[in-house]
Structure 1
């Protein structure tokens, strides 16, 4: 639903436009989580809309970036080089100036076709181009940064009314790009309400999913696209002699899921594709083995689930590893043998794992989506429900 300039001002509800793109699962998930929180905080007092600005508006071949993204990230070295050479104030300025003549018409068409009272951008590529297309007479513009620490320069544009970041590390990086301190707010990583409201205790959830109840349960996740050495790591754990449940989430990687399903496993092993049950999977597990995606890390912290990071996108996710280690919420273990050693230590020394559990709890920001929703509501002058 779009805001209509035809409706009487007294009856028209304020309308928020969310700009995202499916280059990875985190941008869509962040927007959906904030919209969910807005509905919980304000009910039907406003309307919302999501637009994939790359897929729906970018000129070819840029409109195919969401399609090509899984292939890009399967070559992490190339991704890292691209990230590093494009990051920085000067590089960002050159990139936006060079691209503006190419995207100008599409960007202006987007803002013309989607009138709104507040624009929220959850993707680094959208911020500067859309601000330029909007011009000076525009509604408030808020950037919600979805990278945890290693935030690309394209996230930060001084014209934005507010920039909301997930960590203090990200805020410091924003200040390095000369962002106004009073316009950069640490709110946490937006996640769905389900992450903060568990559907049951660990045993109840394991029963619900049909998992063996009396074994340590290891949850292995490769992100929405099933990235990283997920299969090799799972096999190494299975062949290690550890007596565990293995819960493997292959995401949208259909071939990986099929390969895992034909293997004969020594331990009870449960294999899933893309799932909406991740919050409950985390609550039912004892350890998470995952790539260093910011959304997954944020959800694990809320679930008080110790984290073993086995893969990362160079450049973009380097800071996520530093963050997890700095708060004592987990370890970096890029080799399958390192993963096995960490699991063995945590299983044999339960008190050490419990210390990590407590560190996760302290680092969590379960109210991030609600905080963001309230900030957006303030921009529109809306009172919260109740």
Structure 2
């Protein structure tokens, strides 16, 4: 064994965990011991689960509010004081998770990166800390002072990270399950037989992440009515969405699909609304890709970044759906996209190799003046600050406003948040 590496992800959707899964597998092949942790579990008082649930409800019921929060914090050069106070609540558990003897810790989630960077700056974390940027667009809160290097999948997100002041920006390419490879005509025929899909038709694979959020029913109906392709919809774990699509007359609807590589072999184009891991999997498979009716926040910024990179079309208006799908299915646009997507995976070196190289370098010393902050004295919290703190931390984690709004209306419904904010030393220090 070359040493132990710690990877901290977050079970918010599937993209952050998906990248962490693949990094884990590859680093173990290189001879590293790898420990995995969920950042949501490192937050106290059950706050992580509450935040993840709030994010889900926000994307479903209040997308406009989420868009406003995301845009307001998109170019922030550092988290605000309320965010920093609440993130400090995860520091002790994060240090315990890293433990003694680790050679590096990798974050695939912005909240974890902020905690690791703060620990590095204060001299409390003395091992290499890296961030793997899972998205094609880089929100300002992905960039954490104190992180030794920020690894990007493509020059477009690398340039965004550099513009935001990220340290050690490096393009290292994407990482996906190795089963995602181009298929031939026989693969296509067999996959359609297995999934019960029509043989001669053009098929548009419509995916909305593991949660199945966004205007999926509307997009499916519009693809069907365009006459260009038959929609094949993957609803993830959203069983209610699958039932509604079937009631709408959409013929090919699936829940959670364990063999996405084969389903992609069956289809001719991907239509997605978030621009995350599924897009990378499509590029590796050779599927031309479009973003349509994208979810707020990272869905729209990812769509713009993918379009800038020439890797995916961004369909902003329903009137453009039919001609764009035709161009992707039968025109030069689709051929160019396919070539560019496959080229992302042409380099034999990837993020795991980059991480291994970083681990071989001497770790920069921590600040010699860093000292542990003494525990501050208690002080009763103020109601406006409680609401602001809840709003700030949910915005940072990509988890939005409904928790803060609900808390403001009825704090007794969220006793875990109240106990945490009233009693935690980091919050009390900010309240002073």
Return closer, same or farther for 1:153/1:368 CA change in 2, 3 Å cut-off: farther
Instruction: State how far apart, in whole Å, the 2-side matches of 1:215 and 1:288 are.
Output: 15
User: Is the 2:238–2:255 Cα contact (8 Å) retained in structure 1?
Assistant: yes
* Aligned positions of 1:168-317 closer than 5 A: 168-180=155-167, 183-196=168-181, 201-242=187-228, 244-265=229-250, 269-317=251-299
- Matched with 2:152 is 165
- Matched with 1:366 is 345
User: Secondary structure of 2:34's match?
Assistant: strand
Return closer, same or farther for 1:63/1:310 CA change in 2, 3 Å cut-off: same
Measure how far apart 1:172 and its partner are.
1.7
Instruction: State how far apart, in whole Å, the 2-side matches of 1:245 and 1:105 are.
Output: 49
User: Secondary structure of 1:247's match?
Assistant: strand
- Matched with 1:15 is 4
User: Is the 1:79–1:313 Cα contact (8 Å) retained in structure 2?
Assistant: no
- Matched with 1:376 is 355
User: Is the 1:120–1:141 Cα contact (8 Å) retained in structure 2?
Assistant: yes
Measure how far apart 1:62 and its partner are.
4.7
**Partner deviation per Cα, 1:313-332 (whole Å, 9 max, x = no partner):** 33423332223333444432
Measure how far apart 1:261 and its partner are.
2.6
Instruction: State how far apart, in whole Å, the 1-side matches of 2:319 and 2:211 are.
Output: 23
Q: Give 2:302's match in structure 1, choosing from 320, 325, 328.
A: 320
User: Is the 2:328–2:335 Cα contact (8 Å) retained in structure 1?
Assistant: no
Measure how far apart 1:226 and its partner are.
1.0
Instruction: State how far apart, in whole Å, the 2-side matches of 1:245 and 1:99 are.
Output: 45
Instruction: State how far apart, in whole Å, the 2-side matches of 1:312 and 1:264 are.
Output: 23
- Matched with 1:35 is 24
**Normalization by structure 2: what TM-score?**
0.74
- Matched with 2:365 is none
Instruction: State how far apart, in whole Å, the 2-side matches of 1:372 and 1:230 are.
Output: 32
**Partner deviation per Cα, 1:73-117 (whole Å, 9 max, x = no partner):** 223221111112223345x24x2x333444435312321244232
- Matched with 1:138 is 126
Measure how far apart 1:307 and its partner are.
1.8
Q: Give 1:121's match in structure 2, choosing from 101, 107, 118.
A: 107
Instruction: State how far apart, in whole Å, the 1-side matches of 2:23 and 2:5 are.
Output: 11
User: Secondary structure of 2:204's match?
Assistant: strand
Q: Is 1:98 aligned with 2:85?
A: no
User: Secondary structure of 2:106's match?
Assistant: strand
Return closer, same or farther for 1:131/1:179 CA change in 2, 3 Å cut-off: closer
Instruction: State how far apart, in whole Å, the 1-side matches of 2:320 and 2:82 are.
Output: 44
- CA-based RMSD of the aligned residues comes to 2.7
User: Secondary structure of 2:350's match?
Assistant: helix
